[in-house]
């Protein structure tokens, strides 16, 4: 059985973003998963996903010394294992993994792009990140942007040539398990009970945001828009599900203050299972500045929620304006406010119809098994 090495910066990416995929591939390849260990979490994930774990310290920050050590360790492992394919995910793992795999002479070096953090960088930092991106792509034999919009951005920035790029299926790194994310799993009694636990009234209209509470997810604009909405609406709630990452991309002090003091904002923190929080909500609001192919928007759609998203790649491929959601400009508090106000004016039937269109679209285009089968076919077509 041929060896397949999959590399991510942290094991949480295998656990979350690629959940189930390595286990599926293990029926066809000897799968080795390389990632940072994160207090033994890699081993825990490997047991569930059926791969052989190897820990290599990697960090999401710019850290030349740790990165050089990482490349050396990866090269040593890859040279020893002699895999048929090395497939990397996440920016840092992509750079280190592709350099190491090229040096080790791996025939098929694949890298999935699930977003470009550099798009928000400027000045010297942007120039450095551009060069790193080009280096990663140069070392790879194939690059998989996980959305068509992302492919266009890569070409516009001249990071690589079109012949190296391919979108798997209709986009998405892992698709979505549409049976797992299914609103039928939660009845009215469950939803009323969970709302009560979070002090949300039965008749409150709930906007939900799920993701990291950082600036480039549009949280500053979301809180400002919601605060304005609260001036004329007392029966609305904003449900925030996720954790803050203050060290990487902090929120404005006034945003943090509003989250603590506005009684209509419910901060639920990190949740291992987000489905119940979709189930008790009326609409998703996802005003991110940049994405690859956002799982949250896929999940919300599968849970029959209409979404308000920004006009960025991924989001504007999942959501069709005025059909299964609303698309607003990036970083516009005013347009976000208008879209949220518009949702409040819709009837329950109108919103429900948008939600049903959302689920139909997800089932048809982004079902997980379809994405896995398409990627496996890609692997099988690689020349021996």
- Mean per-residue pLDDT of the chain: 95
pLDDT value of position 384? 76
Residue 223 DSSP SS3: helix
Q: Which two tokens stand for residue 137?
A: 């792509």
Q: Distance between CA atoms of 206 and 195, rounded to whole angstroms?
A: 10
> 225 and 159 share a domain?
no
Can you say whether the dihedral through the CA atoms of 329, 333, 334, 337 is positive or negative?
Answer: positive
pLDDT value of position 290? 87
Mean pLDDT over residues 304-312, rounded? 97
> 196 and 341 share a domain?
yes
> 35 and 162 share a domain?
yes
Question: pLDDT by residue (tens digit) across 131-155?
Answer: 999 999 999 999 999 999 999 999 9
Q: In the predicted model, is pLDDT for residue 39 greater than 90?
A: no
From the list 113, 147, 105, the residue with the least C-alpha distance to 309 is: 147
> 376 and 353 share a domain?
no
pLDDT value of position 106? 98
> 49 and 140 share a domain?
yes
> 103 and 127 share a domain?
yes
> 93 and 209 share a domain?
no
From the list 58, 129, 135, 133, the residue with the least C-alpha distance to 101 is: 135
Q: Which pLDDT band holds residue 38 (cuts at 50, 70, 90)? A: confident
Range of the structural domain that residue 90 is part of? 3-175+368-380
> 166 and 273 share a domain?
no
Domain count, the chain: 2
Read off the pTM: 0.85
Q: Distance between CA atoms of 365 and 371, rounded to whole angstroms?
A: 9
Q: Which pLDDT band holds residue 311 (cuts at 50, 70, 90)? A: very high
> 191 and 128 share a domain?
no
> 164 and 189 share a domain?
no
> 295 and 373 share a domain?
no
Q: In the predicted model, is pLDDT for residue 337 greater than 80?
A: yes
Q: Distance between CA atoms of 314 and 292, rounded to whole angstroms?
A: 6
pLDDT value of position 128? 87
Q: Distance between CA atoms of 36 and 227, rounded to whole angstroms?
A: 40
> 123 and 233 share a domain?
no
CATH number, domain at 78?
3.40.50.2000
Residue 174 · residue 20 · CB < 8 Å: yes
Q: In the predicted model, is pLDDT for residue 120 greater than 80?
A: no
């Amino acid at each position: 059985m041929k060896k397949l090495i999959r590399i991510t910066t942290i094991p949480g990416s295998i656990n979350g973003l690629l959940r189930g995929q390595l286990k599926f591939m293990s029926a066809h390849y000897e799968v080795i998963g390389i990632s940072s260990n994160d207090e033994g979490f890699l081993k825990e994930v490997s047991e569930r996903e059926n791969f052989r774990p190897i820990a290599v310290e990697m960090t999401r920050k710019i850290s030349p010394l740790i990165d050089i050590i990482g490349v050396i360790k990866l090269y040593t492992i890859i040279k020893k294992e002699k895999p048929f394919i090395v497939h990397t995910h996440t920016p840092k793992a992509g750079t280190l993994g592709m350099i190491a795999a090229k040096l080790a002479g791996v025939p098929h070096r694949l890298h999935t792009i699930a977003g470009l953090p550099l798009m928000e960088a400027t000045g010297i930092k942007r120039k450095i990140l551009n060069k790193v991106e080009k280096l990663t792509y140069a070392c790879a034999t194939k690059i998989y942007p996980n959305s068509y919009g992302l492919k266009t951005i890569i070409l516009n920035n001249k990071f690589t040539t079109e012949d190296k790029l391919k979108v798997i299926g209709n986009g998405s790194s892992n698709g979505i398990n549409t049976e797992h994310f299914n609103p039928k799993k939660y009845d009215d009694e469950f939803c009323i009970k969970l709302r009560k636990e979070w002090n949300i009234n039965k008749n409150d209209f709930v906007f939900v945001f799920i993701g990291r509470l950082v600036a480039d997810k549009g949280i500053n604009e979301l809180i400002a828009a919601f605060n304005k909405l609260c001036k004329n609406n007392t029966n609305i709630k904003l449900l925030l599900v996720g954790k803050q990452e203050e060290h990487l991309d902090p929120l404005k002090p006034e945003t943090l203050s509003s989250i603590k003091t506005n009684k209509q904002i419910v901060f639920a923190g990190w949740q291992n299972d987000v489905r119940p929080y979709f189930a008790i909500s009326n609409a998703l609001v996802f005003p991110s500045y940049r994405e690859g192919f956002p799982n949250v928007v896929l999940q919300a759609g599968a849970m029959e929620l209409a979404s308000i998203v920004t006009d960025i790649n991924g989001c504007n491929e999942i959501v069709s304006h005025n059909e299964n959601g609303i698309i607003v400009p990036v970083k516009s508090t005013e347009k976000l406010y208008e879209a949220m106000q518009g949702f409040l004016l819709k009837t329950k039937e109108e919103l429900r119809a948008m939600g049903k269109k959302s689920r139909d679209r997800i089932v048809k285009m982004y079902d997980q098994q379809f994405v896995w089968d398409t990627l496996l076919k890609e692997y099988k077509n690689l020349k021996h």
